Amino acid sequence: MLDVTTAFGVDSGSIGHLLPATAIDRAGTLYVVLSAQLGDSSTTHLWLIHSTQAGWTKPVRIDRGVPSNVFPAIAVSRPGHLFVSWYSSDAADFNADDAHWFESFASTRHALSAHPSFEQRRLGDATPVHVGPVDNMGNVGFNLGQDWGLRDFQAVIVDRCGHPHVTWARDYKGARTFTATTTPYCEG
């Protein structure tokens, strides 16, 4: 069991918006990414841990650039090659009424190292996927009047070539479901 207070050295906090993002590689290594809001800070960042023979690694931060990052999804191709997708906003708090959210993506080939560096980018166009707070209590929050437009998660997988396929939702200016992958496509 991981407890946010001991794992991150804080007095309080949340390890997420309901569901941790998890993956396993062909060597059996387990990867977990959490969106954590630590202590009194309003910011929410993504943290990676992975299993080792000796237990679990210390959390390593993934996202860079903006303070609010929620609903991570992860996939792994070969050991250490990790793909992460999530919703991000430059709002200081995920509960901000004026938060504009966009789809973000990051990857690293060195997720098993002590200090992996991630290549990060935004996916999609200039239209936000969501404007407003993001419910972090699922249906419980919905019943309390929270903004549950994006519901609770998104997803990413890898194909047989090791290419990522990301899918996410938009509820702003027309509800849609998106997919994205890299080209050239994996075929033949």
Partner 1 sequence: MRTRHAALGLSLALSCAVAGVAGASASGTSASGNEWRVAVLPTPAHGGSSYSEPGIARGPHDVLVANACTANAGGPSTYWLSHDNGQSWSTGFPVGTSAIGCGDSDAVVGSDGWFYALTLGTGVSVFSSPDAKNWREATFPPPHGTDQPDRPWLVTMPHHPATVLMLNSEVGGNVVAWRSTDHAKSFTGPIPVTGGANGEAALMLGSRPLVDPRDDNTVHMFYETVGAAGLTQPLGTSGPSQFPLSQLWEATSTDGGRS
The residues facing 60 across adjacent strands are 48
What is the smallest separation between the CB atom of 91 and partner 1, expressed in angstroms? 18
Look at residue 5 and give its three-state secondary structure.
helix
Alpha carbons 115 and 179: distance in angstroms, whole number? 30
Quote the least distance from Cβ 4 to partner 1, whole Å: 4
Tokens in use for 103? 């789809």
Min CB(108)–partner 1 separation in Å = 11
Rounded CA separation 135/145 (Å): 9
Tokens coding 121 = 């980018």
Q: How many angstroms separate the most distant Cα atoms in the chain?
A: 53
Q: How far apart are CB 158 and partner 1 at their closest, in Å?
A: 8
Q: Do 133 and 99 form a contact (C-beta atoms < 8 A)?
A: yes
Residue type, position 126, single letter: A
- Cα end-to-end distance, the chain, whole Å: 44
Nearest approach in angstroms of CB 40 to partner 1 is 13
Q: Locate the DSSP E strands across 53-98.
A: 55-56, 60-61, 68-76, 82-89
- In a 3-state reduction of DSSP, which class is residue 171? coil
